Amino acid sequence: MMLIAVEYLGEIGVGVTSPRLFRANDGNVYVVKLQNNRLGQKVLVNELLACQFAKLMDLCFPEGGIICLEAPFVEKNKRLKAARIKPGYHFASRYLSSTEYVGRRNLARAANKAQMAGIMLFDHFFHNVDRTWNRKNLLLRREANAYRLYAIDNSHLFRRGRWTVASLEKLVDRVGVNKRRTFGWLLKHYLTKDDFYDYINKVKAITDKQLRTMVAEIPQEWLPEQLEREALINYLIKRRDMVDQIVEQIFKLIPDVDRTAQVNKRK
């Protein structure tokens, strides 16, 4: 069921895409990236792709999806009209309260560190180096009796967010490894090969039909060019088929693949 915005709560004040807070018809609060963000509508495409992959790979992203800002809702809100926000489809991600940014000192508290293997594989699949270059894209949150890691903000997939057919063609065969900050600490101290295998198998299990459906579900107003849709499908299929090559390079950074993790990595 598509989300419908029912209340505007204001600017969130974090991020180059200037996201805003809305309450949706399910009663939850969402961080919403709008079509008129400064990086353009490809950002929304990237976020939706991440949301779709998260469901298939069981990734620790906040729940998200397409949200509709209906014309009467926008028209009656002076702040939205002043910001030139248009009715239509935008991208929403569940707002997480009471979080802290992940650093070297608090990483050890997280109970779901093993899930970061999935995030790492996803980010290397999509050339998303912004996960660790931006210190605000990994969050730690206390839930019940445990601290949990969440990865947020997938606007910069394909290295810079605003991709083209040509840039996808250049990136599709490249296999690089991001060992900056949190990823480096995880590979050095916590993760083993075993943490990756389930995620690898989930990627391999994604069919061509599922990948084509993902692209077909992107709103036309976000991605009107058919050539770009075909280039995106080709990228997804080829990267899926390269998953062993991608993870092989990641494994090279695990210093002792047989070591036993010294922390609790409950999922």
Which CATH number fits the domain that encloses residue 200? 1.10.1070
Eight-state DSSP code of residue 61:
P
Maximum mean pLDDT: which of 6-15, 130-139, 219-228? 219-228
Give the model confidence (pLDDT) of 62-91 as tens digits.
Answer: 999 999 999 999 999 999 998 889 999 999
- Tokens found for residue 63: 């729940």
How many domains would you assign to the chain? 2
- Tokens found for residue 36: 């008129």
Which neighbouring-strand residues pair with 3? 67
Instruction: Pinpoint the alpha helices (H) of the chain.
Output: 42-57, 71-75, 78-82, 116-125, 130-133, 165-171, 182-189, 193-204, 208-216, 226-241, 243-251
> Strand, coil or helix: what is 140?
strand
Q: Which residue, of 76, 94, 112, is where some domain finishes?
A: 94
7: in domain: yes
∠159-164-169 over CA atoms, to 5°?
A: 80
Please tell me whether residues 51 and 115 are part of one structural domain: no
220: in domain: yes
> Strand, coil or helix: what is 215?
helix
Please tell me whether residues 233 and 125 are part of one structural domain: yes
262: in domain: no
What is the DSSP track for 74-101?
HHT-HHHHHTTPPSEEEEEEE---SEEE
Q: What phi and psi, each to the nearest 5 degrees, are found at residue 29?
A: -95, 140
Residue span of the structural domain in which 68 resides: 3-94
Residue 261 has pLDDT above 50, yes or no: no
Give pLDDT, residue 264: 44
Please tell me whether residues 71 and 148 are part of one structural domain: no
Give the model confidence (pLDDT) of 220-253 as tens digits.
Answer: 999 999 999 999 999 999 999 999 999 999 999 9
